[in-house]
Amino acid sequence: MSDDRVPLVELTEATKIYRGGMLSKTSTIALDHVSLTIRGDTPQVVSVVGESGSGKSTLASLLLGFIAPTEGTVRFQGRDIAKLRGAELGQFRREVQAVFQDPFSVFNPFYKVDHVLTVPIQKFKLARSTAQRQEMMITALEAVGLRPDETLGRYPHQLSGGQRQRVIVARALMLKPKLIIADEPVSMVDASLRATILESLRTVNRTLNVPILYITHDLGTAYHVSDHILVMYRGSIVEAGAVETVIDAPQHPYTRLLIDSIPWPDPQQAWGSERATASELEVPEQHPGCRFADRCPAAEAHCLDAPPPNYLIKEGHVAACYLYRDRPALGGEAFRQVLATESPSSS
Ligand code: ADP
Ligand code: MG
């Protein structure tokens, strides 16, 4: 039985280092001591945003158990997922579902769309009869806003990109997941179809109470679908909080840069106003301090001494930047607290 006090997923000081080949001395710190908790009892949409290469997919792969952390642990309902075997591993594979960027790669063009739904039903023995199988598929398709009679019996190319991606969400749903991890689910579909896919994820979250980790490089869509947001920069979470708070009052210079660089439809927000430039500070290539220092307009010499801790801006809002060094500094538990705080939009 699941205990609601045990977090659904818990990352503790998780680090992932990709080493170069045998002859290469280079290694990439894709994820740098990231701690974070996703609870199952207050299902939210949590967005992870950051530019390409910031470690978002590495975070997703760790949470899905595709890769193991170099240091630290990833727990699912209190169990270290690296140690799951047999039935427990099977249950984990079923309960944590992924939706990826390219829905087309999941479909075999020679099989009808039904195939991607019937395979998991067979694999996980979800249905006892053909009638029950059919009913499951219909329920799942309807839950994501698709009309079963217009979806089943078709071939993948007969559906739009948005419909295909929603079939994938439906497939995830049939498995009654406890968490859905969606890594750039709309970045390869037409802008006009993005809204419907994101809407279906939001509906799944709201009506079926499934928490969703929505990974994107697009702050705009994150703003529309999520309750909380985590901003990543070069393997670290640099800011976190309720989405309105972070977007309306960003505290970390990197978040400010991200927000300033997109054309917001909101007239209150000036277009690309005062694009920040890096400070005059001379930043050596290697230093133990803040990884954003070389691009930061507010960088000062002391920023290069050690990585900034997570400062508490206010209840439920944290930023890892020395600009806030007069505030309370939190350790790895900082982002747990943020996500444990009710978002104003989730009530
Ligand atoms: P994002 O999803 O935010 O674009 P990734 O998690 O894919 O970022 O990558 C983070 C960093 O790790 C990047 O510098 C990337 O080049 C590196 N990286 C990712 N996967 C591998 C891999 N399999 N081998 C080596 N380096 C990798
Ligand atoms: Mg990625």
CATH code of residue 43: 3.40.50.300
Q: How far is the CA of 57 from the centre of ligand 2 (A)?
A: 4
Asked if residue 205 has its Cβ within 6 Å of ligand 1, the reply is no
pLDDT at 337: 65
Phi/psi at 317 (nearest 5 deg)?
-140, 125
- 175 and 41 in a common domain: yes
Question: Which positions ≥6 away from 89 have C-beta within 8 Å?
Answer: none
pLDDT in tens, 103-149: 677 888 999 999 999 999 999 999 999 999 999 999 999 999 999 99
User: Structure pTM?
Assistant: 0.90
pLDDT in tens, 151-176: 999 999 999 888 998 999 999 999 98
Asked if residue 54 has its Cβ within 6 Å of ligand 1, the reply is yes
Tokens at 15, concatenated: 């680090």
The residue whose C-alpha atom lies closest to atom 7 belonging to ligand 1 is 57
Nearest atom (ligand 1) to Cα of 31: 10
Tokens at 263, concatenated: 């054309």
Place of tokens 């047999």: 86
Burial of 67 (0-12, 13-18, 19+ CB in 10 A): middle
Asked if residue 161 has its Cβ within 6 Å of ligand 1, the reply is no
For residue 248, give its domain range: 240-264+277-342
pLDDT at 3: 53
pLDDT in tens, 205-258: 998 899 999 999 999 999 999 999 999 999 999 999 999 999 999 999 999 999
Asked if residue 204 has its Cβ within 6 Å of ligand 1, the reply is no
- How, if at all, do strands 27-38 and 317-319 pair? unpaired
The residue whose C-alpha atom lies closest to atom 26 belonging to ligand 1 is 18
Nearest atom (ligand 1) to Cα of 51: 3
pLDDT at 288: 95
Alpha helices in the chain (DSSP H): 56-63, 86-95, 114-123, 130-143, 148-151, 161-174, 191-208, 219-225, 243-248, 253-260, 334-340
Number of independent structural domains in the chain: 2
Asked whether residue 112 is assigned to any structural domain, the reply reads yes
Separation CA 119–CA 129 (nearest Å) = 14
Asked whether residue 271 is assigned to any structural domain, the reply reads no
Question: Which residues sit with Cβ closer than 5 angstroms to ligand 2, an ion?
Answer: 56-57
Asked whether residue 234 is assigned to any structural domain, the reply reads no
Confidence of residue 268 (pLDDT cuts 50, 70, 90): low
- 38 and 159 in a common domain: yes
pLDDT at 141: 96
Asked if residue 55 has its Cβ within 6 Å of ligand 1, the reply is yes
Asked if residue 28 has its Cβ within 6 Å of ligand 1, the reply is yes
Asked whether residue 158 is assigned to any structural domain, the reply reads yes
More confident residue, 247 or 101: 247
Asked whether residue 269 is assigned to any structural domain, the reply reads no
Amino acid found at 19: R
